[in-house]
Structure formats: C-alpha cells, structure tokens
C-alpha cells in the first residue's frame, strides 16, 4: 500500500471513529433523513387519509428524536460541539420543508411560513456570529415552547388537512406563529445584549 493510500485510510478511520460519530448525533441525523419521506407522502396523494396519517406518524417520530438525542448525549456524556450545532439545524431541516409542502398544498398560510422562515434564518445568523465571538446561544424556554407549538400545529395540519380552516386549528396555528415571532425577538434581544453591546 502506498504512503498516500495509507494516509487516506488512516484519515478515513479517524473520521469514522471520531468523537462526533456517536448515537446522539446519528439520532439527530435521522431527524433530517425523515423529512423527505414526509414531503413525498404529502405530495404523492394530497388529502388521502391513510397517507396523511402515515406522514403524521413519521413526523411525530422525527420530532421526538429531538428529545431522545439530547437525553442520550447527556446521559452518556457524549455532548459535542458538533451535536450542539446539528441539533437546532436538524429541527430546521425537518420543520421548514414540511411547512413549505403544507403551504404548497394550500393547507398553511404563506405569512405563517414566512414568519417561521425569517425567525429561523435570523437565529441561525445570530448563532454563527455568536460562535465567532465565543458566545453560545443554547435553546431557551421560548425556543423550546416555539418548537413544541410548531410540532403540534404541523402534526394537526398533516393528519387533518381538511380542518385547516376550522377555528380551533387556526387558533393553534396563530399561537404557533406568535410564539415563533416571540422566540425570534427573544434571541435578538439576547444577541444585542451579549454580542453587539460588547463591540
């Protein structure tokens, strides 16, 4: 084996055996990989009860992995910087494509999708700036409630798309949008205090 091949083999082994490759991060990755099947099920037969229920079940399972990966990482002391970065990113890569699909199917209002998208982009930018300045932005109570409200609203819209115009469902969606906006403002206030006021 040449020196170059040996070096590549060693690098590959180190990559595959690195501290980032743990069960918690793989569970986080699973959350991202479950988003395409949900989208495909919704697009394949829109408003088909069996397909909607299946898509809803997969979405709920994917959403629950958000709790599983964090619990597993803390219990087994395998919390990594990569895991802390991937966890909120995986949430976005699950929620946003599914919400965009619901908007495409005319189940979710465009303004709600825009509120969620703007919040997620803004918070991601804040976290990147914070990371460059050595300031961490872990999930806050508002962020956790935001995520919970999004899971509830999206699950209802996936499983019961025909009820999207019902008053109760609209209230759930409006509350989710308000909580999403509030969470974004909360992060913005923290960023101003912890990052920009130090400049």
pLDDT at 75: 64
pLDDT at 89: 83
Name which of 133, 122, 134 is nearest 189 in CA terms.
122
Measured N-to-C along each axis, helices 49-75 and 23-33 cross at an angle, to the nearest 10 degrees, of 160
pLDDT at 175: 97
pLDDT at 48: 83
CA-to-CA separations, 32 to 26, 55, 102, 118, 157, in angstroms, rounded: 10, 14, 17, 20, 20
- Which H or E element spans position 123? helix 110-132
Task: Could you please state the CATH topology (level 3) that the domain comprising 19-198 is classified under.
Answer: 1.20.120
Contact assessment for residue 58 and residue 41, using Cβ atoms and an 8 Å cutoff: yes
Under DSSP, the state recorded for 87 is H
| pTM greater than the 0.85 cutoff | no
pLDDT at 11: 38
pLDDT at 87: 77
The per-residue pLDDT string of the chain (199 residues; one tens digit each, 9 = 90 and over) reads 454 444 444 434 433 445 556 677 777 888 889 999 999 999 988 778 999 999 999 999 999 887 776 655 566 565 666 666 677 788 899 999 999 999 999 999 999 999 999 999 998 888 888 878 777 776 778 888 999 999 999 999 999 999 999 999 999 999 999 999 999 999 888 888 877 666 5
| 61 Cβ contact partners less than 8 Å away, ≥ 6 residues apart | 34
pLDDT at 30: 86
pLDDT at 17: 46
| 116 Cβ contact partners less than 8 Å away, ≥ 6 residues apart | 95, 96, 99, 150, 177, 180
- The residue behind tokens 């619990």 is 71
pLDDT at 135: 74
């Amino acid at each position: 084996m040449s020196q170059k091949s040996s070096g590549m083999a060693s690098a590959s082994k180190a990559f595959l055996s690195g501290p980032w490759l743990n069960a918690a991060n793989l569970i986080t990755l699973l959350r991202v990989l479950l988003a395409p099947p949900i989208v495909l099920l919704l697009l394949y037969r829109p408003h088909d009860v069996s397909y909607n229920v299946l898509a809803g079940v997969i979405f709920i399972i994917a959403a629950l992995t958000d709790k599983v990966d964090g619990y597993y990482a803390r219990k087994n002391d395998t919390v990594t910087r990569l895991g802390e970065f991937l966890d909120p990113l995986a949430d976005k890569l699950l929620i946003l494509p599914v919400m965009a699909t619901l908007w495409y199917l005319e189940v979710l209002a465009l303004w709600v999708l825009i509120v969620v998208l703007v919040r997620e982009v803004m918070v991601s930018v804040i976290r990147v700036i914070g990371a460059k300045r050595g300031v961490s932005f872990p999930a806050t109570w508002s962020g956790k409630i935001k995520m919970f409200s999004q899971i509830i609203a999206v699950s209802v819209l996936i499983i019961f798309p025909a009820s999207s115009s019902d008053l109760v469902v609209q209230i759930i969606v409006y509350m989710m949008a308000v909580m999403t906006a509030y969470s974004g403002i909360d992060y913005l206030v923290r960023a101003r205090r912890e990052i920009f006021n130090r400049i």
